[in-house]
Amino acid sequence: MDGTPHGAAIAAAGLGVRGPRGWAFRAVDIDAPPGSLVAVEGPSGSGRTCLLLTLTGRMRPSAGHAEIAGLALPRRMAAVRRVSALAHVPGVAELDPSLTVGEHLRERALLQRRFGASPGALFRPEAEKAAREAARTEAALAAAGLEVSALPKGAGTAVRDLGRLEALRLSLALALVGSPRLVAVDDTDLKLTAAEREQAWALLRSLAGAGTTVLAVCAEAPPPGDALIVSTARTLSQAPKGAADALAEIGRP
């Protein structure tokens, strides 16, 4: 290790995205060191998801400046995508309710082998690659607090049978398999009870405490001492409501 923090620092000044129907969000300032928990708070339609997609290199900013892990946006959008991962983002990164937990984990391992492995890893013996993939998956599950053996049918449990908090844990585990420096999750507190909401924020704090920068969109942020809070409420506009609609209207990178 070179001593560099694993998490990605987030810096933004006057950041905004504008589409044909007006500003999705504008004038957002952020200064978050590596390993921060950043809570993006605001009502539906205020540009929360667009901000998440912008800060992870999936949506091109229209105004202002931003750097993720020292990578300038929009010039280094592809590089930002390589150091970040999306957990749950409706319309962009979602669990398939018809697949099982095990199928999702195997799919992610295959994708990681195909697109996320270092060049040297391609020449390792198959048994060694399989062992490394299994270790990465177990570490990601542990970090997300998902005990697969405790699910009703273990790895054979269908996503449709998971509770909201369990589905959130699975989404985070899948995102963590590639050891991203920044992990982003949308609708963090949607349809959670008060007790589940506390557990969700405790989980995200633990991920940030372990060094990964966490960007979490929510309707209601945790207490200020628990997270760096960024509000999009003052930028409420006529932006597209869904992430998929926003990408279609404003444009993918």
| Residue 34: CATH number of its domain | 3.40.50.300
What values do phi and psi take at 211, rounded to 5?
120, -15
State the pLDDT confidence band at 33, using cuts at 50, 70 and 90. Answer: very high
Q: Is residue 97 part of a domain?
A: yes
State the pLDDT confidence band at 186, using cuts at 50, 70 and 90. Answer: very high
Residue 146 clears pLDDT 70, i.e. is over it: yes
Q: Is residue 200 part of a domain?
A: yes
Q: Is residue 3 part of a domain?
A: no
Proportion of the chain above pLDDT 90, given as a percent: 74
Return the number of other C-beta atoms located less than 10 Å from residue 128's C-beta. 10
Q: Is residue 228 part of a domain?
A: yes
Q: Is residue 186 part of a domain?
A: yes
Q: What is the mean pLDDT of residues 173-193?
A: 96
Domain housing 75: 10-250
Strand partners, 182: 84, 213
Q: Is residue 4 part of a domain?
A: no
Q: Is residue 198 part of a domain?
A: yes
pTM for this prediction: 0.87
Residue 167 clears pLDDT 70, i.e. is over it: yes
| Total length of the chain | 253
Burial class (CB in 10 A: 0-12, 13-18, 19+), 31: exposed
pLDDT in tens, 78-89: 999 999 999 999
Q: How many domains does the chain have?
A: 1
Q: Is residue 60 part of a domain?
A: yes
